[in-house]
Chains A and B, each alone.
Chain A
Amino acid sequence: MPMKIGDPSFDTRVEKGLKDTFMRQAVTSAQERLKLAKGKAEEELGNWEEWRSLSEEIRAHTLENIDYYLHQLSENVSKNGGHVFFAQTAEDANAYIKEVAQKKNAKKVIKSKSMVTEEISMNEALESVGCEVIESDLGEYILQIDDHDPPSHIVAPALHKNKEQIRDTFIEKKGYTKSSNPQELTLFARELLRKEFLEADIGVTGCNFAVAESGSISLVTNEGNARLATTLPKTQITVMGMERVVPTWEELDILVSMLCRSAVGQKLTSYVTGLTGAREEGDVDGPEEFHLVIVDNGRSKILGTEFQAALHCIRCAACINVCPVYRHVGGHSYGSIYPGPIGAVLTPLLEGYDDHKELPYASTLCAACTDACPVKIPLHEMLVKHRRNIAEEKRTTLSETFAMKGFGLVASSPALFNMSTRTAPFMLSPFTKDGSIKNGPGPMKGWTDIRDFPESKKERFRDWYKHRESKKGGGSK
C-alpha cells in the first residue's frame, strides 16, 4: 500500500467522507471514547504537563543526536548477532527485504502492525516476488481481506468500519456464519490467523521504539500478535522509521507509558514486548535470524529544518482523536496513510506539496492537536508554516494571492483601511437584506452558502468614538 491513498482529488475525497454517515458515526464514537480514556489516564498519572515536557525533551535530545544513537543502536544489534540495513529510500528497503525473503525461499510472511511498511509498500514488493503477506493485527487483517481497503487511522486502522460492516466482509470473503458480536468476530479471525502464524517463514514487525544502549526493539500491542510474529517464524525482519530510537530503557519506560496512555488511555497495553537479537543458545523460542531495516525515506531531509519536531512523533494518534476536521471527514480524506493533524504535517514533508498541498488547510488551527500531543509537537503552528511555504512557492490561486496582498496593503495603511471600511456598507448594500447578507458575492459565497453574514455598519465603532470625543470636547489620537 503506497503512502498515497484514495481518489487523487482532495475535494472528492472530502465529499465522499462527509457523505459516509456510517463512517462518521464510527469515528465520532471512537473519538469520544478515546478522548475520555486518555483524560482519565492523564489524571491517574498526575502531573501530565510535566510528563509531556519531559517526553518532549527526550525526543528533542534524541533527534538532535540521532546519528550517535542510530550508530549505537546498529553496533549493538550487530553485537547481538542481528543484521542492520540502513535504507535511504523505500526502494532500498524493499530490495533488501525481498532479498532476505528470496534467500530464505519464503512463501509466506506474517506481519504485525506497522505504519512504515505501509509507507514503503512492502507488502506489494514481497508479493511481487511470490510471497504471500498476511496481516495479523485484527484491524489490518480486516482491511486486507476487504480488498485492501486503506487504513484510516494510525492506531486503529479499521476505525472507519462498524461491526456490521466487518461481519459482512467476513461473510463474503471468509465464509463466516455468525453474528456481529465483536468476540465472535475476533475468535473467528484468531483461528484463521493461528494457522497462518504456524505456516509463516518470515515474521515482519514494525517498531514502536528501538533502544540504542542494548540494541533492542520494543513493540506495544493489545492483541499479542507481535509476540507470535516474533517467536514462531524462523526469520524476523523489523522495519523502523529512523526516528524511532530512544537512548536507554529509562527513556523507553517513559515514552511507552505516554504512548499507551495517549493512544488508548491504558496504563500499559496488554503486551509490551522487548526483543534483543535473534535466538541464542539455550533460548526456547525466537527467530534464528534477525534483520533490522532502518528507513529514512525522506526523514533526514526534515532534520535541521523548522519541521524537525515532526520527527518527535510517537504515533499515538492523540492528535487525530481530538481533531474536529478528522471527525467529520474521516481518515481517507487525507489521501495518505498518515491522516489527521500529524498526517497533514508529515505527508507534505515526506512526499512534497505537489499532491498534498490542500492538507495544511484542512484545519481551523484550533490547536486541539497541539494540546493533545504527548510530546508537544506544535502541530497547528507547523500547518501555518506549510501554508507559508505554499504561498511563498506561489502554489496558491491568483485570486487568493491578490486578496492577501491587497489585505496587507490596506491593513498597513490607516487611510486605505478607513476608506475601505467606510465604503464596505455601500459596496455590500445590494446583497444586504434585513441586516444580513444571505447571498454573498465572489469569495463570500463559501460563507453565505451555509450561514448569514452580518451587514457592515454605516456607523463604525470609530465613527461613534470620534463623535463622542468631539461632543466631549476632547479628541482622539
Chain B
Amino acid sequence: MKVSLFVTCLADVFYPGVGKDTVEVLERLGCEVDFPEKQTCCGQPAFNSGYHIDTIKVAKHMITTFEHADYVVTPSGSCAAMLKEYPELLKEERDWEKRAEQLANKTFEFTQFLVHVLKIEKVDAELNANATYHTSCHMTRLLRETEAPLKLLNGVKGLNLEELPNREACCGFGGTFAVKMSSISEQMVNEKVMHIEDTKAEVLIGADCGCLMNIGGRLERSGKQVKVMHIAQVLNSQESLTKG
C-alpha cells in the first residue's frame, strides 16, 4: 500500500524522531512511504486565528502537493482534522472544494490509518513502562477517534496503561491561545500535570505534538521526571525504557 506522509511542521522541525518512527512503523507493516517534499503546514495557526484568506493559500498549496497520493497519513489528530476542514474553507470555489474533499477523504491520522485502513490492532512493539494516555481534543472531538490509539497501545508488550483522570479535558494548548492567554493556559496545563502525576505514570503518551509540546514543556519547567512520547515512538519502541 502506498502512503504519503504529511509529517506536520512541528514534527518536521522540533520532533523529527516522531516522523522517523511513523515512517518505520508504516514500512514495517508493509507500506511504501513517500514524503512529498513540497509539503509545509496544515495552516491551522492562521485558520484558528481567523486569517482565512491566508489559510486558503496554504490549503491550496497542500491540496496540490498531495494530489497524487492514495492515502495521506499524518502523526497528528489536530492536523488531520485541519486537512478535513479544507472543503468548508474552500466552499466558495467549486473546483477547489472538490479537490479539497478528495484530500479530506484520503487523509488519516496515523493510528486511525493503522486500525481502520490497515486493520491492524497490534504492532510488534515493546515498552516496559507505566504510562498514561492524553486523549487530545482534536483526536476525540474533531476526528471522533477514541479507540484506535488505545487498541494499539494495549497491544504493546510490557506497557501498563493507567487511565488519566478527567482525560477529556483540554491541556490548555490551543495554538496561539497558549501565548495569547498564557495565564489561563498555565492553569489548564497545571491541572493536566496534576492529573498525570496522580496516575504515577513514568511516561505520558499522546497523538498530537502540539499537546505534547505544551504538557512536556510544563513538565520540564516544573522539574517533573515524566517522559513524554508520541504514540508513533511507542509503537516503534523495541526495548524496555531506560530511565534518565
On chain B, which size bracket covers the interface? 35 or more
* Minimum C-beta distance from B49 to chain A (A): 6
- Among B98-106, B117-125, B212-220, the stretch in contact with A: B212-220
- Does A173 make an interface contact (CB < 8 A)? no
Contact between B58 and A366, CB atoms less than 8 A apart:
no
Contact between B49 and A400, CB atoms less than 8 A apart:
yes
* Minimum C-beta distance from A160 to chain B (A): 16
Contact between B168 and A368, CB atoms less than 8 A apart:
yes
Q: How far is the CA of A364 from the CA of B186 in the complex (A)?
A: 12
Task: Tell which of B19, B49, B184, B217 touches A451, judged by Cβ atoms closer than 8 Å.
Answer: B217
Residues of B within 8 A of A387 (CB): 48-50
Contact between A404 and B37, CB atoms less than 8 A apart:
no
- Does A100 make an interface contact (CB < 8 A)? no
Known contacts A449-B182, A457-B16, A460-B12; is A368 also within 8 Å of B221 by CB? Answer: no
Residues of A within 8 A of B221 (CB): 438, 450-452
Known contacts A412-B40, A454-B217; is A325 also within 8 Å of B179 by CB? Answer: no
* Minimum C-beta distance from B7 to chain A (A): 5
Residue of A nearest to B214 (CB): A451
Contact between A367 and B187, CB atoms less than 8 A apart:
no
Contact between B9 and A421, CB atoms less than 8 A apart:
yes
Contact between B15 and A368, CB atoms less than 8 A apart:
no
* Minimum C-beta distance from A449 to chain B (A): 6
Known contacts A367-B137, A408-B57, A461-B20; is A446 also within 8 Å of B52 by CB? Answer: no
Q: How far is the CA of A391 from the CA of B47 in the complex (A)?
A: 11
Q: How far is the CA of A476 from the CA of B214 in the complex (A)?
A: 32
Residue of B nearest to A466 (CB): B37
Known contacts A368-B141, A404-B45, A411-B43; is A447 also within 8 Å of B217 by CB? Answer: yes
The residues in B between 1 and 34 inclusive whose CB is less than 8 angstroms from any CB of A are 7, 9, 11-16, 18-20, 23, 34
Q: How far is the CA of A459 from the CA of B12 in the complex (A)?
A: 9
Known contacts A389-B50, A414-B38; is A407 also within 8 Å of B168 by CB? Answer: no
The residues in A between 331 and 380 inclusive whose CB is less than 8 angstroms from any CB of B are 361-368, 370-371
Residues of A within 8 A of B218 (CB): 450-451
For B40-76 the 0/1 string (1 means CB < 8 A from A) is 1101011111111111011011000100100000000
The residues in B between 142 and 189 inclusive whose CB is less than 8 angstroms from any CB of A are 142, 168-170, 172-175, 177-189
- Does A188 make an interface contact (CB < 8 A)? no
Residues of A within 8 A of B9 (CB): 411, 417, 421
27 residue pairs of the A-B complex, CB under 8 angstroms, read A18-B187, A324-B188, A325-B188, A362-B181, A366-B137, A366-B141, A367-B137, A368-B137, A368-B141, A388-B51, A390-B50, A396-B49, A400-B49, A404-B45, A407-B41, A407-B45, A408-B54, A408-B57, A410-B40, A411-B43, A411-B58, A414-B65, A417-B41, A436-B217, A461-B20, A465-B23, A476-B37
Q: Apart from A370-B141, A391-B50, A461-B16, what are 18 other A-B pairs with CB-CB below 8 Å?
A: A18-B187, A324-B170, A324-B172, A364-B175, A366-B137, A366-B170, A392-B53, A408-B53, A411-B9, A411-B40, A411-B58, A412-B60, A436-B217, A456-B13, A460-B12, A460-B13, A461-B18, A464-B19
Contact between B58 and A412, CB atoms less than 8 A apart:
yes
The residues in A between 92 and 112 inclusive whose CB is less than 8 angstroms from any CB of B are none
* Minimum C-beta distance from A377 to chain B (A): 14
Contact between A446 and B58, CB atoms less than 8 A apart:
no
Q: How far is the CA of A477 from the CA of B217 in the complex (A)?
A: 34
Contact between A365 and B217, CB atoms less than 8 A apart:
no
Contact between A328 and B187, CB atoms less than 8 A apart:
yes
* Minimum C-beta distance from B36 to chain A (A): 5
Q: How far is the CA of A329 from the CA of B187 in the complex (A)?
A: 9
- Does A148 make an interface contact (CB < 8 A)? no
* Minimum C-beta distance from B5 to chain A (A): 8
Q: How far is the CA of A364 from the CA of B137 in the complex (A)?
A: 9
Residue of B nearest to A424 (CB): B13
Residues of B within 8 A of A366 (CB): 137, 141, 170, 174
Residues of B within 8 A of A405 (CB): 51, 54
Contact between B16 and A459, CB atoms less than 8 A apart:
yes
Residue of B nearest to A410 (CB): B40
Residues of B within 8 A of A391 (CB): 49-52
Q: How far is the CA of A436 from the CA of B213 in the complex (A)?
A: 11
- Does A15 make an interface contact (CB < 8 A)? yes
* Minimum C-beta distance from B240 to chain A (A): 23
Q: Which one of B142, B216, B221 has the greatest number of beta carbons of chain A within 10 Å?
A: B221
For A390-420 the 0/1 string (1 means CB < 8 A from B) is 1110001000110011011111111001000
Q: How far is the CA of A329 from the CA of B182 in the complex (A)?
A: 12
* Minimum C-beta distance from B3 to chain A (A): 13
Residues of B within 8 A of A396 (CB): 49-50
Residues of B within 8 A of A464 (CB): 16, 19-20
Known contacts A364-B174, A450-B189, A451-B220; is A461 also within 8 Å of B7 by CB? Answer: yes
Contact between B58 and A450, CB atoms less than 8 A apart:
no
Q: How far is the CA of A421 from the CA of B41 in the complex (A)?
A: 11
Contact between B50 and A14, CB atoms less than 8 A apart:
no
Please list the 10 inter-chain residue pairs (A to B) with the smallest Cβ-Cβ separation, ordered nearest first: A364-B174, A408-B54, A387-B50, A451-B217, A446-B179, A366-B170, A461-B19, A391-B50, A366-B137, A446-B182
Q: How far is the CA of A401 from the CA of B50 in the complex (A)?
A: 10
Residue of A nearest to B219 (CB): A451
Known contacts A18-B183, A447-B182; is A465 also within 8 Å of B35 by CB? Answer: yes
Q: How far is the CA of A466 from the CA of B12 in the complex (A)?
A: 12
* Minimum C-beta distance from B8 to chain A (A): 9
